[in-house]
Amino acid sequence: TAKDADGKAIDVRWKKVDDNKIKIFNKTDSTIRMKLTVTPKEPLDDKRWYKTAQCVARVLMTARSFSISYRDQYAMMLPGFMPVIGKAFGQRSGDALAPGLDFAFGMTGDTQDLQLRMTLEPVNNLKIDLNASRTQTTAKSIQYMYQGNPTTQSGSFTMTTLSLGSAFEGMGDAANGYHSATFEKFVRSLDGYRDRVEAQYVGQQYPAALGGGKFDPAKGAVDKYSGDVMIPAFLNAYTGMGSVGLNIFPTLASLLPNWTVRYSGLSQLPWFRDLFKSVNINHSYKSIYSVGAYQSYSTWLALNGDLGFVQDAATGSPIPSSMFNVSMVSINESFSPLLGLSVTTLNNLTAEIKYNQTRQLSLSMTSVQVNEAISKDWVLGFGYKINNFDLFGPRGRKKLKSKKQGDGQQQGSQNSQNNRGQAARGGVNRDLNLRLDLSFRKQAAITRDIATMTSSASSGNSAFKLSFSADYTLSRLVTMSFYYDMQTNTPLLSSSSYPTTTHDFGFNVKLSLTR
């Protein structure tokens, strides 16, 4: 602001030159005496609207990166294929184009792989990595030289999902028959899913090869323990794919993400900053639904879409079924870790504690069972590095005396310390690295019979492990190390095994002639 000698405000044009100078532009040729007042603006960080705008902008920029990858691959071999190739896109004209425009333009993919990734940062130092994937592989064999072009098909399928609803359910014990509420929910839902599958065939006609006529459950009904019934019920009970319907291979609408979370902001808080160089919190979750292998029925006859019939091997009766014979599906879930904390102190001591949990669920249509394998383990680790550790005592020490007192004596002492450090090192960092790891793991395998709704433990054990190691660099060519490992195993079933304890320890010297 500017005022003249009478105190009246003057409208002036000005420009900032640097932090200490401004330039005034005079509109007239005469000299003007004025009083200038420079007042700093209120910092934006102190304004409420700016703080609100920062919060809104942070939310809008939560998604820091996103990527999508889709791959479609196809490989084909046609031994003995002899029709005349046409001139237009390699097609033979006639009643139908051969081998087909879809073939000519590569629209016959049999391997489809979709990968989705996103990185979120809702607040500073908090990063969330999301990933979702769906992969399906199909192999077809068409015998075109026979009537009807008999076709067989096989493949595999994997897809990310969520199975958190039953992740922390206890596996039970022998006293309660290894009770599982989720398993009971799954078994009780089978009748409802069987009725839903069979309802698709009501009013449909049998293929002509099976005699025709309307579908009659008395000739052959939907099997309650078939993959068409048990797989959708299994997915509904153990995963969060609510839109799976009756699909054995869930669509993209059922795709759910897995994630990894990292937070490193605690080291910036006053109390943590005074004690630690870094403090990191980690969490990771992964759950994959997979169909390891499947193949089509050789006797399958299509009705419409995925519906069809297969002939019973014993009676020859038509049985409603999809075209795929799936013997086993599984859900592999892991928290690696469920919660992990790692810190580094100011004196270079590192410590880590984490809890991991894994679970594998396998549904077998052959044995009509659900096999559940669970592993839970605590891990605690410490590490410490001692720089320039003089293991065998000082060598080559010399006292340096100074004729001067005071500063001269202090300088001589400093030189003596430097010489000792150089003598101890000898041009090599003689560092001693210490490491101690403790872990406790409890694992068990439970077999759950679907027909009888009974469960029993098939294997399992509790294991404690202690590992200690010390590495020391003796010279440029020689390193030494000492290790000690102890592991104890206590079986879950005493009838099949017995407790064991194992000790391993050793000392070794490594000589390297290539340095």
The pLDDT tens digits for 79-92 are 766 666 666 666 66
Q: Which two tokens stand for residue 261?
A: 């979370």
Burial class (CB in 10 A: 0-12, 13-18, 19+), 43: exposed
What one-character DSSP code corresponds to residue 274?
T
Which of 51-60, 226-235, 323-332 bottoms out in mean pLDDT, i.e. has the lowest? 51-60
Given pLDDT bands bounded at 50, 70 and 90, which one contains residue 406? very low
Given pLDDT bands bounded at 50, 70 and 90, which one contains residue 394? low
The pLDDT tens digits for 377-389 are 999 999 999 888 8
The pLDDT tens digits for 285-311 are 999 999 988 898 888 888 887 889 998
List of residues 6+ apart from 236 with CB closer than 8 A: 186, 189, 242, 244
Q: What is the pTM of this model?
A: 0.78
Given pLDDT bands bounded at 50, 70 and 90, which one contains residue 424? very low
The residue assigned the tokens 């200490």 is: 20
Q: What is the mean pLDDT of residues 391-395?
A: 63
Annotate 424-481 with DSSP letters as a single string.
HHTTS---EEEEEEEEEEEEEEEEEETTTTEEEEEEEEEEEEEEEEEEEE-SSSEEEE
How far apart are alpha carbons 256 and 287 in whole angstroms?
9
3-class DSSP string for 318-387? EEECCCEEECEEEEEEEEEEEEEEEEEECCCEEEEEEEEEEEEEEEECCCCEEEEEEEEEEEEEEEEEEC
The pLDDT of residue 32 is 78
**What share of the chain has pLDDT > 90, as a percent?**
43
pLDDT at 96 over 90: no
Cβ atoms 224, 194 nearer than 8 A: yes
Cβ atoms 12, 34 nearer than 8 A: yes
Instruction: Count other Cβ atoms within 10 Å, centred on residue 64.
Output: 11
Q: Which two tokens stand for residue 30?
A: 């005469």
Q: What is the mean pLDDT of residues 154-158?
A: 92
pLDDT at 420 over 80: no
The pLDDT tens digits for 461-473 are 999 999 999 999 8
Which of 127-136, 181-190, 391-400 bottoms out in mean pLDDT, i.e. has the lowest? 391-400
The pLDDT of residue 302 is 85
Q: Rank 84-98, 187-201, 423-437 by mean pLDDT and report only the highest.
A: 187-201
The pLDDT of residue 423 is 44
Q: What is the mean pLDDT of residues 208-212?
A: 83
State the chain's mean pLDDT as an integer: 85
Q: What is the mean pLDDT of residues 505-512?
A: 92
